[in-house]
Homo-oligomer: A and B are copies of this chain.
Amino acid sequence: MTFKSFNPPERTLMGPGPSDVSPRVLSALSRPTIGHLDPLFVNMMDEVKSLLQYAFQTKNEFTIALSAPGSAGMEACFVNLVEAGDKVIVCRNGVFGDRMIQNVTRIGAEAVVVDSPWGRAVETDKVEAALIAHPDAKFLAFVHAETSTGASSDAKTLCKLAQAHDCLTIVDAVTSLGGSELRVDEWGIDAIYSGTQKCMSCVPGISPISFSPKAVEVVRNRKTQIQSWFLDQTLVMSYWSGEGKRSYHHTAPVNSLYALHEALVMLHDEGLENSWARHRAQHEKLAKGLKELGFEFIVPEEERLAQLNSVHIPDGVDDAKVREYLLENYNLEIGAGLGAFAGKAWRIGIMGYTARSENVALCLAALKDALNQ
Contacts and interface: CB of A to CB of B under 8 A. Distances in A.
Interface string A32-52: 111110111100100100110
Interface stretch (A248-256, A298-306, A309-317): A248-256
A208 interface: no
A94 interface: no
A262 B8 CA distance: 12
Nearest to A69: B250
A13 B33 contact: yes
A51 B26 CA distance: 25
Interface string A315-352: 00000000000010000010000100000000000000
A203 B265 contact: no
Given A5-B28, A9-B40, A251 B35 contact: no
Contact of A225 (B4, B7, B69, B106): B106
B35 A30 contact: no
Interface string A91-122: 00000000100110111000000000000000
Contact of A205 (B15, B44, B67, B338): B67
A69 B5 contact: no
A34 B8 contact: yes
A216 interface: no
A197 B8 contact: no
A3 B268 CA distance: 8
Contacts of A27: 30
A256 B203 contact: yes
B11 A34 contact: yes
A18 interface: yes
A146 interface: no
Contacts of A24: 5
Interface residues of A, number: 81
A373 to B, nearest CB: 19
A33 B20 contact: yes
Nearest to A265: B3
A282 interface: no
A75 interface: yes
A51 to B, nearest CB: 6
A72 interface: yes
A261 interface: yes
A227 B106 contact: yes
B33 A6 contact: no
A259 B107 CA distance: 35
Nearest to A29: B30
A221 B10 CA distance: 43
A355 B359 CA distance: 45
Given A68-B230, A227-B227, A256-B205, A265 B5 contact: yes
Given A35-B18, A71-B229, A106-B229, A6 B261 contact: yes
Q: What 10 A-B pairs are tightest by C-beta distance, nearest first?
A: A205-B253, A30-B30, A68-B68, A71-B250, A26-B30, A203-B255, A204-B251, A72-B230, A21-B33, A8-B34
